[in-house]
Chain A
Amino acid sequence: MKRILIIDDAATVRMYHRNILESIGYTVEEAMNGIEALEKALQEPFDLYIVDVNMPKLDGYGFLSQLRSEEIPQNPAIMVSTEAAIHDQTAAFRAGANCYLVKPVRPVQLLTHVRLLLGEESK
């Protein structure tokens, strides 16, 4: 069973993404900021990360940069943000994101990218 970590400071957003992912059988864990996410990922790396940009303590860019510098399996990350500007997307890819989705994210859109990045297009 693939494990996915949702990192977002908004509880409602975490719950929304969790419902979508659990509905087709993924195992989901949550973190409220980049620091908590990094601790969880270092303990046991996840198969995929869904990362919000704006979070207190350590934002999404900071989390991804630090994650990518660790000697752990470098699994894919989807960055999710309210900001659609090119400079935000460029910063996300520079930090180590594999995909950038602008909120609000529709269930089909999220699942399509999750499946693609996990190599499960037929799921």
Chain B
Amino acid sequence: MAFVKKQVTETVSEDERKQNRDCADLLVGLADANATTRRWAARDLVDCPGSATALVERLKIESEPSVREVILTSLTKLGDPSAIVGLVECLRSEDAALRNEVVEAMKQLPDDVAPIMQALLNDADPDVRIFTVNVLESLCHPDVEAWLIEVIDHDAHVNVCATAVDLLGEVGTQAAAAALTRLKARFGDDPYIQFAADLALKRINED
């Protein structure tokens, strides 16, 4: 007779859902002093249309990593305009961990963030443009290469171009070759741009 492992059905009492799942109660729970309550609220608010703004506001001040993670998952699932606007707002945060978490969350929303990519790539803040290029890294969208070519042809900031070149080294095709050559000429005295563009061109030519 085969050994049948006994199923463990106990739940961890510490993580039991204790609050009502009414949307108004969940919004209150999002500010609770107990992290478990906040985590459950963040998880359940995914079923409450219009809750993205509250989730984003909580995300900006939430210090518990597990709650932040759940908030980002809920925002990703909501994926509505308020969630997108809120995530973009967080890209401007001084909190590096939050910015990185938001970049990862936005990568999960290719169809939703694609329409705003062009605007973000033209943002006045070069850091936002760099994070936007980072989002493009995992964005399975047909315009990614064209957006990156646009960046290396026109962006004046060397680090935005450098980030775009890194990515073109992975996703670029012959369509990017001329722009990479123009970039090398534009930043002729920057050793990193020369190195990265040469590497990207080598990979493109090998393909």
Query: Which positions in A face B, CB cutoff 8 Å?
Result: 10-13, 15-16, 19, 53-56, 59-62, 82-83, 85, 87-88, 91, 103-107
Using A82-B127, A87-B94, A106-B191 as known contacts, say yes or no to A10 and B158 having CB atoms under 8 A apart. Answer: no
Per-residue contact bits, chain B 93-136, to A (CB 8 Å; 1 contact, 0 not)? 01011011001100000000000000000000011001100100
B148 adjacent to chain A (CB < 8 Å): no
Closest chain A CB from B196 CB (angstroms): 5
Cβ < 8 Å to A, chain B residues 24-41: none
Among residues of B, the one whose C-beta sits closest to the C-beta of A33 is: B100
Q: Are B134 and A103 in contact (CB under 8 A)?
A: no
Among residues of A, the one whose C-beta sits closest to the C-beta of B134 is: A54
B80 adjacent to chain A (CB < 8 Å): no
Q: Show 8 residue pairs from A and B whose CB-CB distance is below 8 angstroms, ordered by the A residue.
A: A12-B169, A56-B104, A59-B97, A82-B162, A85-B94, A88-B94, A103-B162, A104-B190
Give which listed residue, B99, B192, B195, contacts A54 with CB less than 8 A.
B99
Q: Are A53 and B96 in contact (CB under 8 A)?
A: yes
Q: How far is the CA of A54 from the CA of B134 in the complex (A)?
A: 10
Closest chain B CB from A66 CB (angstroms): 12
Q: Please, which residues of chain B bring their CB within 8 A of the CB of A11?
A: 166, 169
Q: 10 more A-B contacts (CB under 8 A) besides A54-B99, A82-B162, A83-B127? A: A15-B195, A53-B96, A60-B96, A82-B126, A82-B130, A82-B159, A88-B96, A103-B159, A103-B162, A104-B192
Q: Are B192 and A103 in contact (CB under 8 A)?
A: yes
Q: Please, which residues of chain A bring their CB within 8 A of the CB of B88?
A: none
B199 adjacent to chain A (CB < 8 Å): yes
Q: How far is the CA of A12 from the CA of B127 in the complex (A)?
A: 19
Per-residue contact bits, chain B 157-169, to A (CB 8 Å; 1 contact, 0 not)? 0110011011001
